[in-house]
Every structure is written in structure tokens, then in C-alpha cells.
Chains A and B, each alone.
Chain A
Amino acid sequence: MKIFVTVGTTKFDHLIKFLDTSLDKSYDVLFQIAEGNYKPINFPYIKYTNNIKGQYDNSDLVICHAGAGSIFELLSLNKSFFAVPNLDRVDKHQLEICQYLKSNNYALFCENYDMILESIIKLNDFKFNKFKKDSFFKFDEIADIIQNLIK
């Protein structure tokens, strides 16, 4: 199984360290660690990628921090993923989007790291609702505001 782990632009050392030392070596894992201090020793890693969609496409499972950018792109792609809130941050705001995922049954929200390992084994048992994106529809309104102010 190909697993891609991504933390977006904010370091999430606890998650990377846990997965690097806990995931079965038979998995094909790639970590994206941003500016994290912990460097994986058991699997390859990259700091960032210019082709995140390519990495998603190339993976059977994505394990990601619960950042809006990552979550909504994965939902739009209808990709299997586990969201892990980055509680290393002081603001804990990633719990918001996790609550949204859970209440709408869009993806698995892993409240603790051990849950990730248990859930990988049961990956095929999960059935999630399909996400329908309500796309931004205020472009024209904002364009009119800009046009009226900068003539």
C-alpha cells in the first residue's frame, strides 16, 4: 500500500515521528514534513512538493494534517484519507474541520495516533459520504467592487 503523509506548511513533528517509528515497513510511505525538526529515518521524506495532486493520485491512502487546503482538495478528489488535527499548535483550530468531517461522515478523523494504525488495516471497511463542493460564487460581486474603486 502506498501511503502519503502530508503536514502542509506547518510542522507536525509528533505525527511524523509516530508514523515513522510505528508504520509497518512493508508499506510504501512518503512523508512531506515542511520545516519539521524530526527527519524520518525509516521512510523517505520531502519538505514540500510542487505537485501535491500528483502525490495524492499516486497514493492509496493519504494521512494529512487537518488544514483546510489539504482537506478540501482531498474531498474534491474523492480520495481516501485520514485527517489528524495538529494539536502541537496552541490554537487547536484544526479540531473544527475534523468535527465537520465527522458530523458529515466525509472522512476519518483520527483523534489519537493509535487510531491511525488500527484504521489502516480496516481501510476498505469504511464507507463515507460523497462531498459536494459548494464553489465560491462571489467572484463577480468582488470584481464589481474592485472595478468601482479602481477606475
Chain B
Amino acid sequence: MKDKVVLCVYGEGGHRAEMGELLKSPKIKSVLKDKKIVSIYENNDFLDFIDIKYEFPIIRSKYSFLRTIIFFIINLFKCLYLIFIIHKKYDVKLVISTGPGISVLPSLFFYLNSVKVIFIENSCWFYKQSYSGFFLKYFVDYFYVQNKELKIIYPKSIYSGKLL
């Protein structure tokens, strides 16, 4: 029988810091006590208090569109393979992401497999949609925004206040 887990997708940098804040909250810590958390991160920037970690290959270059196309073609199947491994190994009950680009594939995959998905838009967005928010807004169960300004462009979102 597979372990029931929560899958946390946080990428790196501010996304990782926000996930850290979320998981450190006493209430969430208490419900996750003795439960397994699986995480997906990138660029060697991980939360060390999560035991089970999967590093995603880079699928988007921050500095070049051409590299993004190349990385995407090369690494798309590696990402899908890792998602498949997680799906095969664990009974994922919930996906939580703090908005990185790498959250799109796992969120979409598990949502289409009837797993609940929580998406928290990164606090750096105020007036525009992020790529991940743009793609995922129709494929998540709970869509939180940390800035009130975003309620205008995501009318169905839930305002949450800021994690950082």
C-alpha cells in the first residue's frame, strides 16, 4: 500500500522561502506531523527539513528564450518521468505550490488524476498574471493570491495575505 503524501512544489528563491513559511506554521506542522511530504525543487535550492526531495531539471532559462526552447525540449520528458515516478511510488492526496514555473506540469498532471491542488501565486506579482498562474487558474481547486491588487485579474481567487 502506498503512503499518503502531500506534494509540495516550490522551485527556488522566493518560491522556496514562501513554502518554508507555509510549512513552518504551527497549525500546518501539526496536521503534517508523522505524515510524509514529498517536494519538487530546482537548482539545488531545497528545504532541508523535507525528507523526500526530487530535483526537477531546468525547463526555463531566466536569461534566454532560445535556451528555454532547448531546455524545454530536452527536459520535458525528464520532468514527466519524475512526475510518473512520484505518482507510482506515492498516493498523492494534495499538491501545494507557491507558483514557480515548474509547478505547471505536476499540478496539471495530478489535477487531471483527481488530486486536489492548491496554488499560491507568488507575492512578486501585483498587476499581471504569471505564466504559471495564467496556465493553472482553470486547473486548481484553491487559488490564493498574496496581493489584493491581483483580485482584479483573478476575480475568483482567494486573498490570503503575505507569507513573506
Contact = CB atoms under 8 A, between A and B. Distances in A.
B142 interface: yes
A2 interface: no
A136 B28 contact: no
Contact of B17 (A69, A89, A139): A69
B127 A67 contact: no
B126 A138 contact: no
- Residue of A67, A89, A97, A150 with highest tally of chain B CB at under 10 A: A150
B161 A99 contact: no
Interface of A: 8-10, 66-69, 72-73, 88-91, 93-94, 96-97, 99-100, 133-140, 142-143, 145-147, 149-150
Interface of B: 4-6, 12-14, 17-18, 21-22, 25, 27-28, 30-32, 35, 43, 45, 61-65, 68, 93-94, 96, 116, 118, 122-128, 130-131, 142, 144, 146-149, 158, 160-164
What 9 pairs across the A-B complex have the smallest Cβ distances?
A68-B124, A69-B14, A9-B13, A143-B27, A72-B164, A138-B160, A149-B93, A139-B25, A68-B14
